Structure 1
Amino acid sequence: MEILSSRTLLRPRDYEVTLSFYRDVLGLAIAREYPGGTVFFAGQGLIEVTAHGGTDLEFRFPGALWLQVRNLSDAQDELIRAQVPIVREAREEPWGLHEMWIADPDDIPIVLVQIPEDHPLRRDLR
């Protein structure tokens, strides 16, 4: 499959402490802020600190790999053909992205994301 972008998602136990660490201690520049999270530039990658999910994680890894795909349905078909288990079926999230979850062989969660044409991520050119 063609991967268009990626980021590492962190779901900390204490959002404010983690936000301060990446912003103030490490001095990472903010790429984007949204209700419930902050995305930082990290060299050629991004680190997203989310304000949700830190206490009742579904997975033992306290984050996920975020991989943007061009077409989620095509990616899902590819994964099914490759016999990769789908952890969570594709669906539109309340924040407007289309997401599907899988895991790597070490059970590191991977979220495959399709950004709809009308989503702010496509229109925001900052």
Structure 2
Amino acid sequence: MEILSSRSLLISADPAALTAFYRDRLGLAVAREYPGGTVFHAGTGLIEIPAHLSDDAVARPTDTLWLQVRDIAAAHRELRDANVPIIAEPETKPWGLIEMTIADPDGRRLIVVEVPADHPLRRDVR
């Protein structure tokens, strides 16, 4: 199977509030708006918030997004200043990544990650 692109769809009982959170409080750039929702740039990925729920759609606040940032201290300040709920303050985890956890309006966890310069994920394996 060849995958050409992908995106995460975040289903919400209140898509307008969720869209405002990702646009205004996290500051994600809008990739596309359409009558059925909004698509945001999220690094090399996309996050889509459909504006309309199907009859069987339910919010899944146990879903988790992993968002890599260049500078977690700066991201922490920006998120705190935007009154984003910070569930766990930035800390270096045993696996070497610096992580903090925030929550969106549906209670969905977002793990914000900085990969330190000396971490194996940064090694050039060419």
Normalised TM-score (structure 2)? 0.50
TM-fit CA distance, 1:61: 3.5
Q: Flag the structure with larger Rg.
A: 2
1:122 and 2:119 are equivalent in the alignment:
no
Identity of aligned residues (%): 54
RMSD: 2.2
The aligned length equals: 71
Unaligned runs of 5+ in 1: 1-6, 9-43, 46-59
User: Which whole-Å CA distance do the structure 1 matches of 2:125 and 2:86 have between them?
Assistant: 32
In the alignment, the residues of structure 1 paired with residue 124 and residue 61 of structure 2 have an alpha-carbon distance, to the nearest angstrom, of: 31
Question: Where do 4+ consecutive residues of structure 1 move more than 4 Å?
Answer: none
- Aligned mates of 2:88, 2:112 — CA distance in 1: 10
> How far apart, in 2, do the equivalents of 1:86 and 1:104 lie?
10
Task: Determine if the alignment matches structure 1 residue 91 to structure 2 residue 87.
Answer: no
Would you tell me which structure has more strand in proportion to its own residues?
A: 1
Partner of residue 73, structure 2? 73
Structure 2 residue matching 1:116: 3-state secondary structure? coil
- Alignment TM-score, normalising by the size of structure 1: 0.50
C-alpha distance after superposition, 1:93-122 (max 9, x if no partner): 010000000011111100000000000000
List runs of 5+ in structure 2 lacking aligned partners.
1-6, 9-43, 46-59
